[in-house]
Chain A
Amino acid sequence: MNYFPDEVLEHVFDFITSHKDRNSVSLVCKSWYKIERYSRQRVFIGNCYSISPERLIARFPGLKSLTLKGKPHFADFNLVPHDWGGFVYPWIKALAKSRIGLEELRLKRMVVSDESLELLSKSFVNFKSLVLVSCEGFTTDGLAAIAANCRFLRELDLQENEVDDHRGHWLSCFPESCTSLISLNFACLRGEVNLGALERLVSRSPNLKSLRLNRAVPLDTLQKLLMRAPQLVDLGIGSYVHDPFSEVYNKLKIAIQRCKSIRSLSGFLEVAPHCMSAIYPICGNLTFLNLSYAPGLHGNKLMKLIQHCRKLQRLWILDCIGDKGLGVVALTCKELQELRVFPSDPFGAGNAAVTEEGLVLVSAGCPKLNSLLYFCQQMTNAALITVAKNCPNFIRFRLCILDPVKPDPVTNQPLDEGFGAIVQSCKGLKRLSLSGLLTDQVFLYIGMYAEQLEMLSIAFAADSDKGMLYVLNGCKKLRKLEIRDCPFGDAALLEDVGKYETMRSLWMSSCEVTLGGCKSVAEKMPSLNVEIIDECEQMEFNLDDKQKVDKMYLYRTLVGHRKDAPEYVSIL
């Protein structure tokens, strides 16, 4: 291999696209490291504090696409204070100063300011793609800058961000010369948009394949957009409220029938359920259907819609579908791979309309099922054992019983055996979230059987440190572990501190670990940042090592303590 010229190796490396593989390639020898780093175009950084932008730029001068993740996962559930960190500005600033020709930026759980967006829009001539997922900190003014300045923009994809909508005319900021859009998703914006500007934009975007609208886009505009873009593959409907006897509705039916390429449908942020028949003509081709923001759609109307979707591979739905509705899914959607059932009442416990029955039905009818997110009223061990038998291919299995410590209602036993069956049967399981009443036993099973497990989420479970130890000792591929409200203390935390360097991060909140224990980890492992998040400032008044820590987040890093932590975060 030493005698191959670099160009040949580079050409071979072009075929290696997965981040994991490219990382492995770079470790083979110095020569391969060098060739790999100069040819790398796409970099994924799972924790923005694990490395600095300067080092990224130094190593990968050919960088074109960067993916960054900021806050820990539990930030999604309000467990991380608002200004904890995850700011993208320093990254954009550093990249702008360098000679990197950035074309794509994908961010998740980061704080993105309008200033950042403006700098981004002005610094990279060939910038093509901006994807923001669960981010915050920006307004429509920032979007206006992107629209106005990124001359070759292909993709603007905003997923579930908290955006301050100034109701400005950001859509009008796309110049007439911008005809390159392939994907536009602004479903998460709450404000009005300039409908005329939207229509003109879609008209001059012949390559537009993905369009997701927000609530402010009414039905007659939708109809006009579909007439101009029959080539769409992915459609997110904003408002779907109209009179079924109106002219607009007839026009819509015609427009939808022309859209023979639509494979993915979402939205229905406002919906009149008696008008769903217009959608039936495209249902037969759908592979992805997301109705999880449409609580107005349930009962028979919903079931009728689903009965038309025979090719569905991914379904996101609210629990108002009920066990009966899941039965319809099981009979109809034989190609189903991913199912997500969200609670229609995300604040209450005990109001979910689905139980273990719905899940069992789907597992029996959909043998290709490999990814599950299921919020339910209750679960039994028998059901989980059946599901494990029916679907051995799970890669992701996330179960959330709304009452967090609920046992099997039939036997009153913990759900250890049920989850044990899942991990034993699903040999490829990479992600697992547990709930319900659970003892140390389930963790014994996880440590023994979940050999491919990369991410584990635990809440209100276990009896003792043994639970955490089983997992840390057994799961060799574990990358992310997040725990809340479990009786795990210093003994578990300190048993094998070297393990944390093999992982991306560990989150522990409302557990039994003490300040002294955390300090010990930090002392022994300088390659980890051990953060104590103390909003109530209890630590300020009581620096006793025996004090229990409310929230601890530790992660491996090559760049030491971060400088942007707020006052209530101590990095030990």
Chain B
Amino acid sequence: MENDLNLKATELRLGLPGSDEPERQMTPRPNKRTLSDIVSEGSRSTTEEDHQDTAPPAKVQIVGWPPVRSYRKNCLQGKKDEVEGGTGMYVKVSVDGAPYLRKIDLKVYRSYPQLLLALENMFKLTIGAYSEREGYNGSNYAPTYEDRDGDWMLVGDVPWEMFISSCKRLRIMKGSEARGLGCV
């Protein structure tokens, strides 16, 4: 602790900073994570260095940023979709362990295999094949969705049209929880 009051440190001047403080510099902060750290932390799988990673951090989506209420985001997103033509049916997709969610337009797909393939590509993981008896047994991942009643259902049980109309969001579960689902 310094003995003197170090008034200079707490002095507020109505002038531009840096004007008479030549020693004030941007020192590196070993503890601070940079934005690119925060984003790359989440991607567990080894991805090829695609162009996204080299883009300036400002363009990358961080969970919960900017701090805008989801209600407002959904409203304005809805308007954007309309402006861009066609209503679309965007649902959020979360993957256990990933730092941020994605959105996909369910209307783009015609069948479960198409949807699952798209999810596999988007998140660089393997979901595997569905069977009525065993679900997605053999895979580390299970695709689930939240239906209109708020229940979490396994993707693939109901006819595609019914799924489309009742799916509110998707969650790709991982690990022990996922493996257990095949045996219910």
Q: Which residues of A contact B (CB under 8 A)?
A: 74, 76-79, 134, 137, 160-162, 164, 188, 269, 292-293, 295, 342-350, 375, 381-382, 385, 389, 400, 402-406, 408, 411-414, 416-417, 420-421, 424, 433, 439, 441, 444-445, 448, 457, 459-460, 462-464, 484-485, 487, 510, 512, 535-537
Contact = CB atoms under 8 A, between A and B. Distances in A.
Contacts of B67: 76-77, 400, 433, 457, 459
Given A347-B61, A463-B32, A487-B32, A134 B10 contact: no
Nearest to B146: A82
B72 interface: yes
Q: Chain B, interface size: which category? A: 35 or more
B38 to A, nearest CB: 7
A295 B76 contact: yes
B110 interface: no
B75 interface: yes
Interface stretch (B14-22, B124-132, B133-141): B14-22
B63 A79 contact: yes
Contact of B12 (A375, A402, A420): A420
Interface in B4-54: 9-10, 12, 14, 16-18, 24, 26, 29, 31-35, 38
A463 B30 CA distance: 8
B97 interface: yes
Nearest to B24: A413
B66 to A, nearest CB: 5
A375 B66 contact: yes
Contacts of A375: 66, 68
Given A77-B65, A402-B66, A459-B67, A537 B175 contact: yes
B66 A448 contact: no
A485 B34 CA distance: 10
Contacts of A79: 63-64
Given A293-B75, A448-B10, A346 B66 contact: yes
A535 B96 contact: yes
A347 B71 contact: no
Contacts of A385: 14
Contact of A134 (B61, B64, B71): B71
A414 B17 CA distance: 9
Contacts of B16: 381-382, 411
Contacts of A421: 12, 14
Nearest to A413: B17
B5 to A, nearest CB: 12
Nearest to A407: B26
Contact of B17 (A78, A269, A406, A417): A417
A188 B69 CA distance: 13
Contacts of B14: 385, 389, 421
B108 interface: no
B62 interface: yes
A164 B66 contact: no
Given A424-B12, A484-B64, A381 B72 contact: no
A404 B97 contact: no
Contacts of A293: 72, 75-76
A463 B31 contact: yes
A117 to B, nearest CB: 15
Given A420-B12, A485-B33, A535-B96, A342 B72 contact: yes
B70 interface: yes
A512 B45 CA distance: 24
B97 A346 contact: no
Main SS of chain A's interface residues? loop
Contacts of A445: 10, 12
Given A350-B58, A444-B9, A343 B68 contact: yes
Contacts of A413: 17-18, 24, 26
A292 B79 CA distance: 13
Interface of B: 9-10, 12, 14, 16-18, 24, 26, 29, 31-35, 38, 57-59, 61-77, 79, 96-97, 101, 148, 150, 175, 177
A347 B58 contact: no
Contacts of A444: 9-10
Contacts of B65: 77, 404, 459
A417 B21 CA distance: 13
B177 to A, nearest CB: 8
Nearest to A293: B75
Contacts of A269: 75
Contacts of A406: 58
Contacts of A347: 61, 73, 77
Contacts of A403: 57-58
A404 B175 contact: no
Nearest to A349: B58
A459 B33 CA distance: 12
B79 A295 contact: yes
Nearest to B61: A347
Nearest to A389: B14
A385 B101 CA distance: 38
Contacts of A346: 66, 68, 72-73, 76-77
B59 to A, nearest CB: 7
A487 B77 CA distance: 33
Given A389-B14, A459-B65, A404 B35 contact: yes
Contacts of A464: 29, 31
B94 to A, nearest CB: 9
29 contacts: A76-B69, A77-B64, A78-B64, A78-B101, A134-B69, A160-B71, A161-B71, A164-B148, A292-B72, A293-B72, A343-B66, A346-B72, A346-B73, A346-B77, A349-B59, A350-B58, A385-B14, A400-B66, A403-B58, A404-B35, A404-B62, A405-B35, A406-B58, A408-B17, A411-B16, A420-B12, A487-B32, A510-B38, A536-B96
A411 B66 contact: no
B68 A342 contact: yes
Contacts of A416: 17
Given A134-B71, A343-B68, 12 more contacts: A78-B64, A161-B71, A188-B71, A348-B59, A349-B66, A403-B58, A417-B12, A445-B10, A459-B67, A464-B29, A464-B31, A537-B177
A346 B66 CA distance: 7
Contacts of A510: 38
Nearest to A418: B17
A160 B68 CA distance: 12
Nearest to B69: A76
Nearest to B16: A382
Contacts of B38: 485, 510
Question: 6 smallest A-B Cβ distances: which pairs?
Answer: A77-B64, A487-B31, A346-B68, A160-B71, A349-B58, A403-B58
A79 B10 CA distance: 35
